[in-house]
Structure 1
Amino acid sequence: MEPQQLRLRILDTVCLSPPPAPAQHAALPLSGLDADRNALDVTFRTLRFFPPPPPSIDPHAVLPPAFEAALGLFPALAGRLRDGHVVVGAGTVPIVLAESGLSAADVDTDCPGSPLLDRLAPPEDGAAGTPALALQATRFACGGVALGMRVAHALCDGVGATKFLAAAALFARGQGPPEVAPVWERRELLGPRHPPRVATQVFDRVLALDGGVARCGPYGAEGEWREQQRQLTRECFHVSDARVEALRARIADEAGVKLTTFEVVAAFIWRARVKANGTSSGEVVKMVYSMNISKLVDPPLPDGYWGNVCVPVYVALAACDLVAQPLAATAALIRKSKQDVDDEYVRSYVDFQELHRHDGITAGTVSAFTDWRRLGHGEVDFGWGGPDSVLPLSWRILGSTEPCFLLPYGAGDERRRGGFKVFIALQRTAVAGFREEMQELLLQPQQQSSAGKL
C-alpha cells in the first residue's frame, strides 16, 4: 500500500465533558490493583471495527453525544492521573472524527503489526497531564467505522473499558443509562490492609526486587522497550476449536482432571515459544496470565465496579522440564495455579505491592497471556450492530512486552464457528520455529503468516 493511502482526513476534534461538570476538583484514590506499576504507567490502546450503519445514521453525529453522556457516569475517565489518584473536575476527553478513502475491507485486521491499524486510534502518550481517555472514530468509504480508544490502564482493564463502551452504546441507542450504576469505592474494596501483610509465599518465589525497575518501571525506560520492540514481530494465528478440543480431551485423560481451553492453549503456546526461542535448558521460564477476581474476593465486587479486576497469576518451570514433560502436566500446573487464587491471594498481592511499591517489583522475563474472548464485545452496539473485529494495539501488559492475546472473531465472521484468533509477539528469530509448532492447532487450510501485510 502506498504511503499516501495511509493518510486520514481529520474532520474535527470534539472535546467531551462529563455532564454536569463537578462543582470542584476531587482526587479519587486508586485501588491496589490499579496502582500496580505493571498498569500504572501504561496507556492501553484498542481498536474496534463496526459494520456500515444504515443511511439514516451518521456515526460522527451519534458517537460524541453518546460518549459525553456516558462520561457523566464515568467522570474519572475525563480526569488526570496524579500521585496514585485521579483528579476529576477540570478535564475533557478528545474524540477525533476522521474519514478514509479506503474501504474497511482494505484493512487487514488479522495483521497485528500493521502501521495502518496504528493510525486508527489516538497515539500512545504517557506525558504528564495527558487525558486518561482519548477516542477516534474513522468512517471508511464503504460506510464501516473504526473506533480507536486510548485509556489509562490504571483506571480500568478490558472488563471496565467494555462497561464504559457498553454504557455509551446504550445512550447511542436511546436506551441509557445502564441498569447497574458504575461503582468507584476502589480503596475501600481493593485497597491494602492496615497494616499490610503477605500471607502467601508464592510472590517470594516468582517476584524479585530490582533497583532498575524501581527507577524505570517494569518495562524499562522508553528507549529500552522501543528497542525491544524492534526485535519483535507481531503475528496472528487462526486456531481451530475442533483441534483444541481433541487435544484437550486427550490430555485431560492423561492429567486425570478437567481442563479448560485456556489452560490447554496457554500450556501449548508457552511450550512452543520456549522451544522456538531455543531457551537454555537450565533457565527458569515463567508464564503469567490475568485472572478475574470479581467473585473470588470476600465480599464479591459489586456488578458496577469498573476498576482493574484481574490479578497476575504465575507459573515457573525450568525450560528443560517445560519442554520434556507431558503437555498434560503443564496444563495441570496452570489449573492448580488458578485454584490457588482466593481472597487471601488477592489481598496478599495488594499488600505486597503496598510494601514494595518503591523497591522495583519484577517477575523478570515472562510470557504473558490474556483472554479477550468473553469480554462482552457484543454489548458494544451503537445502533447498527456489534463489532466485526476487536484487537489490541498496545503490547505492554502484566510486566511483559511479548504477550499473547486470545481474541474472538466478529459476529459476522464465518470463522467464528470454527475457532478463534491468537495475536502474539515473538522474537523475529523464533517465528519459523513457532509457526511449525502451531500447526497442530491451526484451522485448515493452513493460514499464512500476516508478516509484511498491511
Structure 2
Amino acid sequence: MASSPLIFTVRRSQPELVRPAAPTPREVKLLSDIDDQEALRFNLPFIFVFRHEPSMTKKNPVKVLKDALSKTLVYYYPGAGRIMEGAERKLMVDCTGEGVMFIEAEADITLDQFGDALQPPFPCFQEILHDVPGSEKIIDRPIRLIQVTRLKCGGFILALSLNHTLGDAVGLRQFIHAWTEMAQGANQPSIQPVWCREILMARDPPQITCNHREYEQITLPPNTIKEEDTTTTVHQSFFFTPAHVVAIRCLVPLHLRQCTAFDLIAACYWYCRTKALQLRPEEEVRIMCVVNARSRFTDRLSLVGYYGNCIAFPAAVSTAGKLCGNPLGYAVDLIRKAKAQVTEEYMHSVADLMVIKERCSFTDLRSSIVSDWTRAKFAEVDFGWGGPVYSGAAKGGLGSFSGGTFIVPHKNAKGEEGLILPICLPYEDMKRFAKELDEILGSQNHATISGSSFVTSAI
C-alpha cells in the first residue's frame, strides 16, 4: 500500500437520462429462464480507463460517448427500458425508452498520479461511479448507470453498472463494441443484436436432466454465525505474470499441463482460499467456474448477436481435507471436469431447474465462483482515444457474494503483461491466503499486489 493517500476532488453534474436517438418499439420482452435466476439479480460494476490522445484534444469525451450511446440504444433499446417482475418471479423488460442514467464528472487529478492503483480494488469507485439512490436495485430502475469522469491530463474514466439479468460479459462486450463503432462514425453496429430469449426458456414440461451441484441448497445449523458476518472484509488484487503461470503449470501432472491459465489460477484461488479459511477436513467446499456456453450449442449461428446470459456455473466439489491434502493437480482436474459438463442439454436443464426450484441461487456456503474474462477483449475497447489502460472489474465479489472473483488481463504500471485476480476475504484470512500463494509460487513469489490507497471528496 502507498505510504500516503492520494487525495483528489470529483465534481459531478446532476444525473440525466440518455434516451434512444430515434423512436423504438414499445413492447414487453420476457427475459430467459437463465437470465432471471436469483444469482444474476444484481448490478455488476465495470471500469475503463483511457489516456489522453493528442489527436482527440478538441473532442469532449463526455459528448462523444453520450451521443454515441443515444444512437446505440436505438439498436439495444431494451436497455433503455425497465425490468419488471411478473407472476412466479418471472422477469421481463418493459421497453419504455426512458433511457439509461448518465453522469458527467471531472476530477482534479492526472492518470499518472494513480500509479499502480489502476486495478481492483478501486477505493475511489464510489466517486467514479456515483451511487444514485436506488441504483442498487434492479426492478423499475434504469438498467444501466454510466459515469464519464474527465481527468486533468486529458484522459478519462468510463464506469458503468450492468444489470446482470440483461446480459453476461460477452453480451456487454458486444454492446460496448457497438457503442465504440457509433462513437467513431458508424451508422449501425457491425453485429446486429439478437434478443431470442426463447432459446433458453424452460421446456414444457420442465425436466432436470443433469446434475447441478452448484444449486444444492445447504443450510447451516441454527444460530450459526458466518465469520464474514462478524469480521471486516478487505479487497486485494493478485497479479500473475506469465512466469507465475509457468511456475504453477510445473506443479501439475504432465497430462494436465495443456490446461488454460484460467484453470491454473482458479485452482490456486480455490486451494489457497480453502486453506486460509481454516475449515475442518470433512467440510465440503466447491468452486463454480462461469462457462460461456455459446460454443456448446449445435446451432451456433442462432446465437450470433445474442447478448443475453448464456452462462452456466458448474461446480467442482471436494472436502477441504482432500483439496488441501492433495497436490494442485487434484483441484485443476476437478475444475476441468466440471467445466466439461456444460452442454446444450445442460443449459436447458438449468432453465428447467429455475422454473421448478423458483429461480433459486447457487450455493454460497463454503463456495467460491470464478469468471474468465481473459477472452472478453475489453482491452480492445476504443472510442477514438485508443485502448484502455485498465478494463474490467472494479472489485472482487459478485453482488453481495464475497466469494466471487474474475480473472482479468492487465498491464501494470511497469508495463508487465499479466492476469489480475481481485478477491475479498476477512483481514486475517487474506494474510493467510497471500502466504499460501507465495508458497505455491516459490521463487516466483511476487504475485501479490494491491492498489494504492487514496481518499476522495465529492462536490
Same fold (TM over 0.5): yes
How far does residue 175 in structure 1 lie from its aligned partner after superposition? 2.9
Q: Distance in 1 between matches of 2:234 and 2:49?
A: 23
Give the letter for the 2:124 counterpart.
L
Shift of 1:111: 5.5
Q: Which residue of 2 aligns with 1:261?
A: 261
Select 1:101's aligned residue among 96, 104, 108: 108
Q: How does 1:21-60 map to 2 (within 5 A)?
A: 21-22=23-24, 25-39=26-40, 41-54=41-54, 55-60=57-62
User: What percent identity do the matched residue pairs reach?
Assistant: 25
Partner AA of 2:402 in structure 1: T
Separation in structure 2 between the aligned mates of residue 381 and residue 366 of structure 1, nearest angstrom? 36
Distance (whole Å) between structure 1 residues aligned to residue 426 and residue 15 of structure 2: 38
Residues 43 and 125, structure 1, Cα contact 8 Å, conserved in 2: yes
- For residue 177 of structure 1, report the CA deviation from its aligned partner: 2.0
Deviation track 1:180-200 (CA, whole Å, cap 9, x = no partner) reads 2000011x2111111111112
Q: Aligned residue for 1:343?
A: 344
Secondary structure in 2 matching 1:259: coil
Distance 1:230 1:49, change over 3 A: farther
In structure 2, relative to structure 1, the CA distance for the partners of 1:44 and 1:442 (3 Å cut) is: farther
Q: CA deviation at 1:79?
A: 0.9
Aligned ranges 1:46-195 → 2 under 5 Å: 46-54=46-54, 55-83=57-85, 84-107=91-114, 108-110=116-118, 112-123=120-131, 124-126=135-137, 128-186=139-197, 188-195=198-205
Residue pair 1:231, 1:427 contacting (<8 A) in 2 also: yes
2: CA distance, partners of 1:26 / 1:365 = 42
Give the superposition deviation at 1:263: 1.3
Stretches of structure 2 that go unaligned for 5 or more consecutive residues are 86-90, 455-459
Rate the CA distance shift 1:398–1:4 in 2: closer, same or farther, 3 A: closer
Q: Does structure 2 conserve the Cα–Cα contact (< 8 Å) formed by 1:362 and 1:399?
A: no
1:207 corresponds, among 201, 215, 220, to 215
Q: 1:226-265 alignment to 2 at 5 Å? A: 228=229, 231-253=232-254, 255=255, 258-265=258-265
> How far 1:408 moved relative to its partner?
1.0
Q: Summarize the alignment of residues 298-337 of structure 1 with structure 2, pairs less than 5 Å apart.
A: 298-300=298-300, 301-337=302-338
Amino acid at match of 1:150: S
- Report the equivalent of 2:409: 408
The superposition leaves residues 40-59 of structure 1 with CA deviations (integer Å, 9 ceiling, x where unpaired) of x2011111101113212221
Distance, in Å, in 2 between the alignment partners of 1:173 and 1:396 is 34
What code does the residue aligned with 2:203 have? Answer: R
Per the alignment, do residues 104 and 251 of structure 1 end up closer, same or farther by CA in structure 2, a change over 3 Å counting? same
Taking the aligned partners of 1:314 and 1:88, their CA distance within structure 2 comes to: 35
How far has the Cα of 1:14 moved from its partner? 4.2
**One-letter code aligned to 2:39:** N
When the two structures are superposed, what TM-score results if normalisation uses the length of structure 2?
Answer: 0.87
How well do the aligned residues superpose, as a CA RMSD in angstroms? 2.9
SS at structure 2 position matched to 1:192 = coil
Aligned to 1:421: 420
Encode CA deviations 1:47-104: one digit per residue, 9 max, x unaligned.
1101113212221221110111111111111111101101102411121111010112
Q: In the aligned structure 2, how far is the partner of 1:356 from the partner of 1:8?
A: 45
Provide the secondary structure at the position in 2 that maps to 1:171.
helix
Instruction: Check whether the contact 1:209–1:362 (CA below 8 A) recurs between aligned residues.
Output: yes
Paired position in structure 1 for 2:376: 375
Equivalent in the alignment of 1:294: 294
Higher mean alpha-carbon deviation, 229-238 vs 435-444, is at 435-444
Distance 1:335 1:12, change over 3 A: same
Cα separation, partners in 2 of 1:293 and 1:360, compared to 1, 3 Å: closer
CA contact (8 A) 1:109 1:117 kept: no
**Deviations, residues 232-285 of structure 1 (Å, cap 9, x unaligned):** 1111111121231243245141x4563221112111221111111111111001
Aligned residues of 2:8 and 2:108 also touching (Cα < 8 A) = no
Q: Which amino acid aligns with 2:19?
A: S
**Structure 2 CA distance, aligned partners of 1:2 and 1:362?**
40
1:361 Cα offset (Å): 5.9
What CA deviation, in whole Å up to 9, does each residue of 1:116-172 have, x standing for no partner?
A: 133111425216421001110000101111001012110011111111111111111
Spell out, residue by residue over 1:408-439, the C-alpha distance to the aligned partner (whole angstroms, 9 max, x if none).
115996211xx222111122121221111222
1:281 and 1:318 in contact (8 A); partners too: yes
SS in 2 for 1:323: helix
Tell me the SS of whatever aligns to 1:159: helix
Distance change (3 Å), C-alpha of 1:445 and 1:340 = closer
User: Would you say how many aligned residue pairs link Structure 1 and Structure 2?
Assistant: 434
Secondary structure of the 2:166 match is coil
Query: Which residues of structure 1 form unaligned runs of 5+?
Result: 213-223
Aligned partners of 1:327, 1:259: CA distance in 2, in Å? 13
Indicate whether 1:355 and 2:356 are aligned. yes
Q: Evaluate the alpha carbon distance shift between residue 166 and residue 241 of structure 1 in structure 2; reply closer, same or farther with a 3 A threshold.
A: same
Find the aligned partners of 2:314 and 2:400 in 1 and give their Cα distance: 12
TM-score of the superposition, structure 1-length normalised? 0.87
- SS of the equivalent of 1:414 reads coil
